[in-house]
A and B are shown apart, each in its own frame.
Chain A
Amino acid sequence: MNAKEEFPLKKVCIICAKANLEDVYASLVMANGAVMEGIETKVFFTFFGLDAITKKQMNKLHTATVGNTGMRLPNGWAFPTFMGTIPGIEGMVSGMMKKQMEALDIPTVPEFLEMITAGGGEIYACKLAMDMFKLTKADLSDEVKDVLTVGDFYGLCGGQGTQIIFT
């Protein structure tokens, strides 16, 4: 065997397809983390993930209180599914999550997008999903660079040392 050769990560292309608070943050933390390391970063928002870059929705993301097996009450007990269906509970739980994140200096969604582009990262929206949800470029955050087809996005993902991450 030859000596181990290392190929450092040069570019990440991250795809965010969900609107849950935690899924959006997973994409944003990964993207911003890459920018901070000096790695070229491109983020593609599609389907419900578009909520994260839609001006009207980006501040209203929730975490699911039904069908989320990781949900627990503050004392560690399992979160009863019926409770998740009570009106207002989802908003309350999401509010608690946001407060916790603020305490850890985790930025809000719009600020996170700004941080990513300030460091040279690029944010894109999926054309097909935009058509489905009847959105136009004007509905999106100013941080969004362009609306792309899947093919366009893959076109940006070339080069040695590139990884595509789907969250």
Chain B
Amino acid sequence: MATKIFAGISVDVNDEGYFTDSSKWVKEMATEIAKEFNLELTQKHYEVISFIRERFQKGEALTIRSVGKSGITDIKGFYTLFPGAPLKMASKIAGIPKPVSCV
């Protein structure tokens, strides 16, 4: 457990850097979290982030496949937007817990 300051607000994150309370997240924080990955957010990034937050809030399973079917980007595009481990990176930036899906 640690405390970090994003957009002037202090928030609790777990050992891996995921928000412990997703309701503390505001859009302005995304840019600052993304900086930890040396990532410059574009409009597309924000669309993906709001999509995965929406899915999380509805309690729906979050998978790479679901992002690929979102109509925002395809799977290849998702990997390009968030290089490396896109689902984990995007979840961290979106202030939601670590994804638990295996696909």
Contact = CB atoms under 8 A, between A and B. Distances in A.
Verify that A and B bind, or say they do not: yes
Interface of A: 29, 32-33, 36-38, 104-107, 111, 114-115, 118-120
Contact of A114 (B75, B86, B101, B103): B75
Interface in B28-65: 61, 63-65
B22 interface: no
Nearest to A112: B103
Interface of B: 61, 63-66, 68, 74-76, 79, 83-88, 101-103
A37 B61 contact: no
A127 to B, nearest CB: 28
| Most chain B CB atoms below 10 A, which of A32, A36, A115 | A36
A37 B76 contact: no
A38 B85 contact: yes
Given A118-B74, A118-B79, A119-B79, A107 B85 contact: no
Given A36-B85, A36-B87, A38-B85, A29 B74 contact: no
A21 to B, nearest CB: 15
Given A36-B85, A38-B84, A118 B76 contact: yes
Nearest to B82: A38
9 contacts: A29-B103, A36-B64, A106-B103, A107-B65, A115-B75, A118-B68, A118-B74, A119-B75, A119-B79
A105 B74 contact: no
Contacts of B75: 114-115, 118-119
Given A37-B85, A118-B79, A29 B64 contact: no
Contacts of B79: 118-120
Given A115-B68, A118-B76, 7 more contacts: A29-B102, A32-B103, A33-B102, A36-B86, A36-B88, A118-B74, A119-B79
Contacts of B76: 118-119
A105 B68 CA distance: 12
A36 B68 CA distance: 13
